[in-house]
Chains A and B, each alone.
Chain A
């Protein structure tokens, strides 16, 4: 089977190289022969999928068959590894994850080539671009990080096993989701480059890629969130985001992808920002590659060091080639990207999108600057400094607050220009709601000026209220307009409103999810923690919780040794719950420790308890109170739901009967988004 896998990888490389080269020839020759060649390239691209699938299957088979003759299986699996994790072996190491990347790219490519009748010429050139990316990854799989490499010497009886930190259900889903996101951006990138190469008229390529981009963005969002949840539930440091370079690397394409999803509406609806959009999607793809390079290349120190090697140089070259290709075609065809319309007013939906993009890009640049600064410091000063959480918090949080403000303001502005009267009318209730909340929070004891983190948290709550009020008013106003027209109740009218424009109202639901997420993040300002070396019967007081140690047990299983305690928890003097924090040492990994966090979740706060270790036989217990954390995860679920809604096609196609008699309309008052104004 490994031999078959190895052969399939080589065959896939040959097929994708054929697809790439013949695809170029087919694109250049516009006669019948060129068409036939492009068709053979398309079929070769589809066959690449079959070959890479077989290779991936061979590697998974080797994991299930405990084939420790393969170096990759020896180092990432063992006999006692549970079946789902054997499947996860495919992406748990360098070589496997590159094969997995290739497979996902081949799958996306297969779907694209299968649906080539959408626009045969555009798809042909897009397929050629994808094949180019595929060639790069298959070159890596074949010649740099071959997953079917054989371990020298006698075959070992058992393997080293999977890293215990990765033996967690979310870890089976988190990497594929992230990869689906990273790899998925190849598709809109390939479409954009193809549209630029062939000077594709109109915005059809954007309509074709819109759903791809949203799905990709969704995968990346879910992937990042699962990683954050894993860090919270498994690593046992009480947080979920540490501004680690690899975390940042996943955030970078997410930020530019978010900017693209917004600015692309400007191109669709007003024919504006074409150059910006092209470069935004180019940048998103390049950042996805940069993210992979940072994870793999070892250029920056990271907790994700398991995947590091000298493979980074290959990514530098690939990134350079991609940039040169993009820049060349941009220079040649930039006149094709001239804007059809111009901005009429600073106070308009268009300008809010532009500011939104600017702020998102500023956030991306700040994260990129902090992530890469250690490399710059090493190059200039000869030593690598550490840039951690405090830097990112100082720089990114103010940008984030401004972004929340724009999220509130943007939807209430009209395309073209917005009158002062409509601004006053639309913003009055949201503005006073948020001011009332701000004052109320201070009245109930919040001290925003006692500490910078408290000020940020207070500002977040105030701005989030502003966003929630604007979103709610959007739904209610639109619903009221439809209720009058349809003679129905408000709820059904709102439902019907959403069905008319799923993308827009799904987008609002996504915004609402992001607001819940930010509320959860703001809760961090009020975290409390306490650590104590405890004996049986000892009490640990943290906030209004009292933790009493009732037992401390040692267990020895075939897979791990563990030390676990039982803690009775009282809240304000009443029994609340029992927690079981544990610390394990996995035998196959040379006693590598793993913290099993005991977390009691509520909407108000998490009581998060870890077993830190022992001192002279007495357990050391650390307890955290993490307020509002659950809203982070609820926010992510709402974002997923909202994106799902935005992907659903509209139920009603709005048509305007031309001969209908239309009363004169006052543009200042009535050319506002539906639901705005009267």
Chain B
């Protein structure tokens, strides 16, 4: 079992080393988070508006920012400041907009915690009630089991 774990760990490490992020990939990734501001309602790298007054300039700026800024969030922040908050289609990971990122996991995990709590409470109650309250007739139990099996309930 221990050996199997080691092999799995090694495989994971190998797989992790297979990929390497490039500047092109970063450009593509960031480009898919910025919207063209010519009111075509398309992503910057998808804008197919011929003669678009903004996309060429924005794409050039994106190239420059990707080369000069090491942090993706800084690039997006630069575009927010330069072209307005609506230019970036992803909420910022700081300030008020952080709430958009935090709300789904907070609510999700709270619900999960609540669910586990309910299940555990039910189980405790079932254990506390104990089997003493239930008088089991083996013949009836066998019939019930067969009925459950055959009706797939």
Contact = CB atoms under 8 A, between A and B. Distances in A.
Say whether A associates with B. yes
Interface in A291-307: 303
Contact of A449 (B15, B125, B143): B15
B28 to A, nearest CB: 9
Contact of A358 (B25, B115, B122, B148): B115
A388 B100 CA distance: 12
B150 to A, nearest CB: 5
Contacts of A400: none
A637 interface: no
* Most-contacted residue by chain B among A238, A395, A415 (CB, 10 A): A395
B149 A346 contact: no
Interface stretch (A121-129, A205-213, A369-377): A369-377
Given A343-B123, A389-B32, A654-B151, 12 more contacts: A342-B123, A373-B100, A385-B91, A386-B85, A388-B90, A415-B148, A415-B153, A449-B18, A612-B48, A614-B50, A662-B139, A674-B150
Contacts of B32: 389-390
9 contacts: A358-B112, A395-B104, A448-B19, A531-B48, A622-B48, A656-B150, A665-B145, A670-B149, A671-B149
A355 interface: yes
Nearest to A478: B152
Contacts of A670: 145, 149
Interface string B103-126: 110011001100110110011011
B20 interface: yes
Nearest to A673: B152
B9 interface: no
A451 B50 contact: no
Interface stretch (A20-28, A161-169, A281-289, A359-367): A359-367
Interface string B3-33: 0000000000001101111000100000011
A399 interface: yes
Contacts of A492: none
B58 interface: no
A578 to B, nearest CB: 22
B41 to A, nearest CB: 6
A342 B18 contact: no
Nearest to B153: A269
Contacts of B48: 236-237, 531, 610, 612-613, 620, 622
Given A237-B48, A501-B152, A447 B41 contact: no
Given A342-B125, A449-B18, A501-B152, A386 B88 contact: yes
A391 B153 contact: no
A331 interface: no
Instruction: Determine chain B's interface SS by DSSP, over half rule.
Output: helix
Contacts of A449: 15-16, 18-19
Contacts of B115: 354-355, 358
Nearest to A372: B100
Contact of B19 (A236, A387, A451, A654): A451
B126 A344 contact: yes
A450 B97 contact: no
A399 B100 CA distance: 16
Given A369-B103, A447-B18, A399 B108 contact: yes
Contact of A386 (B35, B125, B138, B150): B35
B104 A362 contact: yes
Nearest to A610: B48
B85, B104, B150 interface centre (most CB from chain A within 10 Å): B104
A345 B124 CA distance: 11
B74 interface: no
Interface in A347-362: 351, 354-355, 358, 361-362
B85 A383 contact: yes
B89 interface: yes
A487 interface: no
B152 A362 contact: no
Interface in A2-56: none
Contact of B107 (A365, A380, A387, A451): A365
A451 B16 CA distance: 10
A615 interface: yes
A671 B153 contact: no
The 3 closest A-B pairs by CB, nearest first: A450-B19, A388-B89, A613-B50
B99 to A, nearest CB: 8
Nearest to B86: A386
Nearest to A659: B143
A247 B23 CA distance: 33
A161 B42 CA distance: 26
B150 A388 contact: no
Contact of B50 (A236, A269, A612): A612
B4 to A, nearest CB: 12
Contacts of B150: 654, 656, 674
Contacts of B151: 654, 656
Interface string A546-579: 0000000000000000000000000000000000
Contacts of B112: 358
Contact of A442 (B15, B41, B99): B15
A351 B89 contact: no
Contacts of B143: 656, 658, 662
B134 interface: no
A344 B111 CA distance: 20
B38 interface: no
B85 A366 contact: no
Contacts of B104: 362, 365-366, 369, 395
A504 B150 CA distance: 14
A359 B102 CA distance: 16
Contacts of A346: 116, 119
Given A366-B104, A388-B90, A614-B50, A344 B153 contact: no
Nearest to A302: B41
Interface string B43-63: 100101111000000000000
Contacts of A451: 19, 21, 25
Contacts of B125: 342
Nearest to B84: A383
Contact of A674 (B18, B119, B122, B152): B152
Given A369-B100, A387-B90, A450-B19, A656 B108 contact: no
B85 A615 contact: no
A381 interface: yes
Contacts of A358: 108, 111-112, 115
A504 B145 CA distance: 19
A361 B108 CA distance: 8
A142 B32 CA distance: 45
A663 interface: yes
Contact of A384 (B86, B108, B152): B86
A386 B42 CA distance: 12
B138 A664 contact: yes
